[in-house]
Amino acid sequence: MRIYLLGFMGAGKSFWGKQLSQHFQAPFFDLDTYIIEQDGRSVNDIFTEEGEAYFRLLEKNALETLTEKYSELILATGGGTPCFHGNMDYMTANGKTVWLNPSIDVLIQRLEKEKDHRPLLKSLNNNQLKEFIEEKLNDRIKFYEKSLLQLNNDESLSVEVLIKMINHA
C-alpha cells in the first residue's frame, strides 16, 4: 500500500509519516528531502535561483519517481504538492491520500518557529503569517478535500487510531 500524507506546511506530515512507516514496515520519504538530495540545493535556493515553477516540476517528477519505484511507501508530500500538475489525481489513483488538517492556530504556532527554511514564509512577519496561512489554505482546500481521509484535530490523534482509519478507508 502507498500512503500519501497531505496538508499545509506544519501539518505534521513527516511526524506521522515516520510513525506509520514503522507500523506498516514500509519505507518513509519526505518529498522535500528527496528533492534536496537529488538536486543538491535547499528548497530555498531552488526557489531563489530557478523560481517556483521549476520547483513544482521537480516535485512532480519526484512524486512520480518514488511512486513508480515503491509499491509500499509512506510519503510526506510538500504543502503545495496536491495543487500542481494533476498531482492530487495521480496520488488518488496510486494510493491512499490522508489530509492532516490541524487548526490555523496550531499551524501558526508551529510555523512561527520554522519559517526560515520555507521560501513562501521566510519574509513574513507574524501578522502577515496568519493572513498568508488563511488565504493559502482557502485556495488549497479544494485540492486537499479530495483526500480519502481527513483528520481535523491532531491533538487527540494517536498512531493507533490513524492506522485503524487507514486500514478501513
Please give the residue ranges that form the binding site for ligand S3P (CB under 6 A): 9, 32, 43, 78-80, 118-120
Give how far Cα 145 sits from Cα of 53, 92, 99, Å: 23, 12, 7
Q: What is the DSSP letter of 79?
A: T
CB-nearer residue toward ligand S3P: 139 or 155: 139
User: Least distance from C-beta 83 to ligand S3P, angstroms?
Assistant: 8
CB 95 within 8 A of CB 3: yes
Q: Would you say 48 or 71 has its CB closer to ligand S3P?
A: 48
Cβ atoms of 53 and 128 within 8 Å: the answer is no
Q: How far is the CB of 95 from ligand S3P (least distance, A)?
A: 18
Nearer to ligand S3P, 43 or 91 (CB): 43
Shortest distance (Å) from residue 157 CB to ligand S3P: 18
Q: Which helix (H) or strand (E) holds 2?
A: strand 2-6
